Amino acid sequence: MKTILIIGAGLSASSLIRYLLQNSVEQNWIVSVCDQDIKLVETKLNGHPNGRALQFNALDATERRPFLESADLIISMLPARFHIDIAKDCIELGKNLITPSYVSKQMKELDQAAKEAGIIIMNEIG
C-alpha cells in the first residue's frame, strides 16, 4: 500500500481527506493525517479503515522527519509560510510534495534542488 501523508487537518483539508479516503480502497492507499488536534483528525477520518490519525509537531524537523520518511507522498495543508521547511525535507528525502499555496520566491528557489533530487513539488492546486 502507498501512504499519503496530509499535514494539517483544518477546514481547507476536509474535501481532500474525504476524496482520498473515498478512493483509498480502490487505489490501495493509506491516508495518514496529522494535526495538533488529534480529535479533529479522528472526526475527519470517521473510522475509515484506510485512515490513520497522527499527532506530531509538524514545525519541528526532528519530530516530523520520521513521518515524512515513511510516506510515499506528502501533502502540506499548513499555512504557506511553513511549506519551505517541509519542501526542504522532501528534497533531502526524495519525497514528492503537494501544497495548495501560491509559488513563493523561496519555493521557486528550491526548483533546481527538487529537480536534482528527482522529485515534484506541486503548488497552486488548492
124 pLDDT band, cuts 50/70/90, is confident
DSSP bridge partners of 96: 73
Q: What is the pLDDT of residues 82-98, one digit of tens each?
A: 999 999 999 999 999 99
Cell 502507498 sits at which residue? 2
Instruction: State which amino acid sits at residue 125.
Output: I
Contact between residue 4 and residue 92 where contact means Cβ atoms under 8 Å apart: no
- Specify the pLDDT at position 75: 98
How far, in whole angstroms, is CA 75 from its chain's centroid?
2
Query: How much is the pTM?
Result: 0.95
- CA 9 – CA 29 distance, rounded (Å): 18
- CA 58 – CA 67 distance, rounded (Å): 9
126 pLDDT band, cuts 50/70/90, is low
125 pLDDT band, cuts 50/70/90, is confident
